[in-house]
Amino acid sequence: MPTQPNILFMIADDHRFDAIGTMGDATVQTPILNSLMARGTTFRQTHIMGSLVGAVCVPSRAAVLTSANLFRSGMQEINRELAVWPQVMREAGYHTFATGKWHNDKQTFTNSFADGAKIFFGGMSSHFEVPIYDYDASGAYPNAAKYIGEKFSTEMFTDAAVQFLQEYDAANPFFLYLAFTSPHDPRTPPAEYDAMYPPEEMPVPENFMPEHPFDNGEMRIRDEVLAPFPRTPEIVQQHIADYYGMISHMDTEIGRVLKTLEAIGQLENTLIIYTADHGLAVGQHGLLGKQNLYSHSIRVPSIFAGPGIPEGKTVDALTYLYDVFPTVCELTEVACPDTVEGRSLVPLMNGSVERVRETVFAAYRDIQRTVSDGRWKLIRYYVSKETGAGTNCIQLFDLANDPSETTDLSASPEHADRVQSLAADMQMWQIETNDFLKDTPVLLR
């Protein structure tokens, strides 16, 4: 048995942070993820830093791979000056294997993985007709080698992971990168899972709105035109039902991977991580997509389980998705590169610290910025003549008493100092990350 733990890293596409049964959503059925939370540590305040393009998954995955901020990590092309997580693990002796979605450049993939199967270089497709490649050690991946997968995406990628595990007999530990395209649209769960969620029985979100109350600068992007305007409760209920069906199906397939680990005797020696590249509105705030900075879109699941991980623990400290890279380095005793910006979460796991950062910051294109200290959250909307956004406003939310972000307190005189303080925090983050809007002042009411 390897002396270092194996690594199973699973990342979903569009899975909102609370769309797991024991994370607070009583409607969605996720027994496998519930059990993973019970045997590990869950970070309840894990954020992404946003996106500079509509395809939020691209920079989010780049940040995971590099543990660098949004303005530095790169987009589809990873910043070549930065260390890349799976490549670091490969060079440290791990056998790296990937299956599923890869939405970044092929050269980085080739440098990172010694093996793979059912590889999807792209953003989205029909879940029944995913264009995939077999692993190509040369890194060429010519179009002529592409073919259509034979199964529903989640099952196909899981099959590849299971086969890898069943056949793996090397002495060195493995790093398995399993990237689902679920629950991204088109949300077409298999019939059994579709039947689990009658639309008329889906609770309408507390923060449901027929339309967003003002132009946020991105009101008609692809995600937002998946349903007509204004939204109706019935339309939102259908989208939620489809979304939950996809999640429950994925949950079952994750169970197959964990059962395989157990069958080959590696479950107790494998560090298991489950997360997602971003969340999704699915009817909240009058929105459907993730091109916004509300919690439903920038917070993601973050579950760690395995050797050395406290069981049944939840952590409410502010964390980033890109903290996973340095965390795994510490857990596996692999040297963490100097280019890494994330923070190891091990001190939070073992209780030696209460927090690893005071605030988190996120951006969306040139039109939205946010900062939060965990209790209070400021969102700034910038005027953009190109997009037609003319709001030029701010929002302030008390997340402790208003987690659904329904009541804007920014105009209240009693919160004026708080707005000023958060605006200063935002500017500090913008300077630190070299945000191209760093010299644009936050306009206060």
Q: Are residues 395 and 344 in the same domain?
A: no
Residue 5, preceding peptide bond in cis (omega within 30° of 0): no
Please name which of 273, 277, 284, 322 lies closest in space to residue 299, comparing C-alpha atoms. 277
Residue 182 lies in a domain: yes
Could you say which of 350, 382, 409 is where a domain stops? 350
Q: Are residues 341 and 389 in the same domain?
A: no
Residue keyed to tokens 């963490």? 336
The domain total for the chain is 2
What local confidence, expressed as pLDDT, does residue 390 receive?
45
Q: Are residues 299 and 408 in the same domain?
A: no
Q: Are residues 337 and 377 in the same domain?
A: no
Q: What are phi and psi of 249, to 5 degrees?
A: -65, -45
Could you say which of 297, 325, 350 is where a domain stops? 350
Contacts 24+ apart (CB under 8 A), 195-198: 196/29, 196/244, 196/245, 196/248, 197/27, 197/240, 197/241, 197/242, 197/244, 197/245, 197/248, 198/241
Residue 443 lies in a domain: no
Q: Are residues 418 and 301 in the same domain?
A: no
Starting at the earlier edge strand, list the strands of the sheet with 40-43.
Answer: 115-121, 95-102, 174-179, 6-12, 270-276, 302-305, 40-43, 313-315
Q: Are residues 132 and 260 in the same domain?
A: yes
Q: Are residues 22 and 142 in the same domain?
A: yes
pLDDT digits (tens, 9 = 90+) for 168-187: 998 999 999 999 999 999 99
pLDDT digits (tens, 9 = 90+) for 7-26: 999 999 999 999 999 998 99
What local confidence, expressed as pLDDT, does residue 3 receive?
77
Q: Are residues 221 and 370 in the same domain?
A: no
Strand partners, 99: 178
User: Which tokens belong to 317?
Assistant: 């400290």
What local confidence, expressed as pLDDT, does residue 389 receive?
44
Residue 441 lies in a domain: no
Contacts 24+ apart (CB under 8 A), 30-35: 30/247, 30/248, 30/251, 31/251, 31/255, 32/251, 32/252, 32/254, 32/255, 32/258, 33/251, 33/254, 33/274, 33/301, 33/303
pTM above 0.95, yes or no: yes
Nearest-angstrom CA–CA distance, 437 and 342:
22
Q: The domain containing residue 281 runs over which residues?
A: 6-350
Give the CATH number, domain containing residue 126: 3.40.720.10
What local confidence, expressed as pLDDT, does residue 24 receive?
85
Q: Are residues 364 and 340 in the same domain?
A: no
What local confidence, expressed as pLDDT, does residue 358 receive?
98
Residue 444 lies in a domain: no
List of the chain residues with pLDDT < 50: 1, 385, 387-390
Residue 164 lies in a domain: yes
What local confidence, expressed as pLDDT, does residue 443 receive?
61
User: Which tokens belong to 213?
Assistant: 């109350």
Residue 440 lies in a domain: no
Q: Are residues 31 and 129 in the same domain?
A: yes
Q: Are residues 224 and 331 in the same domain?
A: yes
Q: Are residues 247 and 280 in the same domain?
A: yes
Give the CATH number, domain containing residue 406: 3.30.1120.10
